[in-house]
A and B are shown apart, each in its own frame.
Chain A
Amino acid sequence: MASGIRIRAKLEDGVAEVKCLMKHDMETGTRKDAKTGELIPAHYITDVTCEHNGKVVMTAHWGPAVSKNPYFAFKVKDAKPGDVIKVSWVDNEGATDSVEETLE
């Protein structure tokens, strides 16, 4: 299955600027279903892990207040062409997704 994360990385002076867009509803658990009036259960990404050549360089913990289809940008130091950046997430229901990008 194709990844639901879109990733772009730009390498400049040894620093890789990584930008990702993740496909996720990020449901807060406080909204009501318009038809039934029942609360829509919370469903959001809790952990995002960023790896640089297999080594974890950043973990992000998110609450439900991160916007729908989250955007996340960060910078990886000591990067060079050919390095692999991997971004993966896990949500509160245990679903996961990941993507890998090779730096140019």
Chain B
Amino acid sequence: MQLQRRIFLSGAVAISALLAVPRALLAAYPAKAFEQKDPGDALKSLFGSAEHSPSDKITLTAPDIAENGAVVPISVATTIEGATAISVIVEQNPQPLVASFDLTPGTAADVSTRIKMGKTSNVIAVVQADGKLYSTSKEVKVTIGGCGG
């Protein structure tokens, strides 16, 4: 643990040194939010609040069954006006916060990536707009045995 911390810290220092100028206006890496073991705590750390209301204006695309938990393709898009951030949370992961995307008016609120899932879990897409949090979730079954079940 001590070693990891050291590596992490040295990395963090290097990052801030490298990007001090262009990143000055942007949010720093939310290391604390990624360390949280509980989805609510992660949201609280990231957005200052864990309260989110379900919204049908968010489209979360993920497979019903993921044969390989190491590579689960997901897409999150939203039609909510003025969305400023999209976060992806996997409830049952040891560290539930997977990724967070800070949007600007120059980008459409539509991102795709591939994530790791330890086991069957709800995937929650959280969208921040106008200071409030909206969410939608979907259960993805992970079959580690690889039988395609």
A-side interface residues toward B, CB under 8 Å? 15, 26, 28-30, 41-42, 46-47, 49-50, 52, 55-68, 70-78, 90-94, 96
Count A/B pairs, Cβ under 8 Å. Answer: 134
State how many angstroms separate the Cβ of B100 from the closest Cβ of chain A: 5
Query: Given A42-B4, A46-B29, A77-B108, A61 and B114 touching (CB < 8 A)?
Result: no
In the complex the two chains form, what is the Cα distance from A104 to B4 in whole Å?
Answer: 44
State how many angstroms separate the Cβ of A88 from the closest Cβ of chain B: 9
Assess the B115–A59 pair: CB atoms within 8 A. Answer: no
Chain A residues whose C-beta falls within 8 Å of the C-beta of B101 in the assembled complex:
58-61, 74
Chain A residues whose C-beta falls within 8 Å of the C-beta of B93 in the assembled complex:
65
26 A-B pairs in the complex with CB atoms less than 8 angstroms apart: A56-B104, A57-B107, A58-B101, A58-B104, A61-B29, A61-B34, A61-B101, A64-B95, A65-B90, A66-B99, A66-B115, A67-B113, A70-B114, A71-B73, A71-B113, A74-B101, A74-B110, A75-B108, A76-B106, A76-B108, A77-B106, A90-B18, A92-B7, A92-B12, A93-B10, A96-B18
B-side interface residues toward A, CB under 8 Å? 3-4, 7-8, 10-15, 18-19, 22-23, 26-27, 29-30, 34, 70-73, 75, 90, 93-95, 97-108, 110-117
Using A64-B116, A94-B18 as known contacts, list a sample of 10 further A-B pairs with CB atoms less than 8 Å apart, ordered by residue number in A: A26-B116, A55-B106, A60-B101, A61-B34, A65-B90, A66-B113, A74-B107, A74-B111, A77-B106, A94-B14
Interface of A, secondary structure class, is strand
Query: Given A47-B15, A65-B90, A73 and B111 touching (CB < 8 A)?
Result: yes
In the complex the two chains form, what is the Cα distance from A30 to B116 in whole Å?
Answer: 13
State how many angstroms separate the Cβ of A98 from the closest Cβ of chain B: 11
Cβ contact of B11, chosen from A30, A57, A74, A92, cutoff 8 A: A92
Assess the A42–B8 pair: CB atoms within 8 A. Answer: yes
Chain B residues whose C-beta falls within 8 Å of the C-beta of A59 in the assembled complex:
26-27, 101-102
